[in-house]
Amino acid sequence: MSNSPRFNIMSSLIACRECDLLQREIVLPPGGTACCSRCGAVLHRSKPDSLDRTLAFTVGAAVLFILANVFPVVGLEAQGNRTSTTLFGTVRTLHDQGMTSVAVLVFVTTILMPMLDIGAMLYMLLPIRLGVVPKGLPAVFRLVQTVRPWGMVEVFMLGTLVSLAKLSHIAAVRPGIALWSFGMLMFLVAAAAVSFEAHDFWAQVAAAGRRGRRFHAKTAGMETAR
C-alpha cells in the first residue's frame, strides 16, 4: 500500500485480478494506490474526481463522434474534378463495389462499436453524476467491456493517413473536418478509458442506491401517514 502511513480498515473484501488473493479493503487517501500483498498488482487507485473527468472526456468524445460522422473525411481534387465523402459514404461505396465484408468491418469497427462505447458510458455516468442508478447498469457495464476492444478508430486513422500520403502524388488531398475530429476522438476515448476508475464508479453506484432507497422509504412513509 502506498501514499499514506495510516489506513482505515473497511469490512469489505477485495480480490486481486492477477492472483485471486482475497484481501481486506482499506480507505485510501486521495491519489493513493492499494496493491496486492502477494503479487504487487494494483487493486485500485483513489483518483479524486475520476468520474467527473471521465464524463467530461466522454461528452467531448460524443461531440467529436457526431462531427466525424456528419462532415466529410477527406476531399480529393484531380483534373478539375472534386470529390468528398463521409465515413458512412465510404462504407456504402465499399458495399456498392462488391467489397461487402470490408464495408461491414469498417462500419463495425469505426461507427458501431465506438457509438455503443460512448453511448453506454454516457448512459452509465450521467445518471450516476445526478445520483440516480440507471436501469440495467451491470449489463451496460459488461457491454462496454465487450465492445471496447472492437473500436478501432486508430487503425482507421492510420490506414487513412497512409492512403492520403499515397494519393497526394496524383490528386490534391484536403483533410476534412471528420478526419481532424477522428484524430481528437482517438485521444479523448483513450483519456476516458484511462481516467475511469471502476472501484470509484461502483462506490458511487452503491451510494446512489442507498440515497434512492432512503428517498423511497421516506415517500412510502409520507403516503402511509396520509
Measured N-to-C along each axis, helices 87-96 and 50-70 cross at an angle, to the nearest 10 degrees, of 50
Residues of this chain, 40-99, that bind Zn ion according to CB under 5 A: 41
List 2, 8, 10, 19, residue binding Zn ion (CB under 5 A): 19
List 2, 3, 15, 18, residue binding Zn ion (CB under 5 A): 18
93 DSSP β-pair partners: none
Residue 137's contacts (CB-CB under 8 Å, 6 or more residues apart) are 124, 205
List 10, 15, 27, 39, residue binding Zn ion (CB under 5 A): 39
Q: How many residues form the binding site for Zn ion (CB under 5 A)? A: 8
Is 16 one of the binding residues for Zn ion (CB under 5 A)?
yes
Is 15 one of the binding residues for Zn ion (CB under 5 A)?
no
Nearer to Zn ion, 36 or 61 (CB): 36
List 34, 36, 62, 188, residue binding Zn ion (CB under 5 A): 36
Is 158 one of the binding residues for Zn ion (CB under 5 A)?
no
Q: Which stretch binds Zn ion (CB under 5 A): 38-46, 137-145, 160-168, 207-215?
A: 38-46
Q: Which stretch binds Zn ion (CB under 5 A): 30-38, 68-76, 157-165, 179-187?
A: 30-38
Q: How far is the CB of 34 from Zn ion (least distance, A)?
A: 11
Nearer to Zn ion, 36 or 124 (CB): 36
Q: Which stretch binds Zn ion (CB under 5 A): 20-28, 79-87, 100-108, 142-150?
A: 20-28
Nearer to Zn ion, 21 or 190 (CB): 21
Site residues (CB under 5 A) for Zn ion? 16, 18-19, 21, 36, 38-39, 41
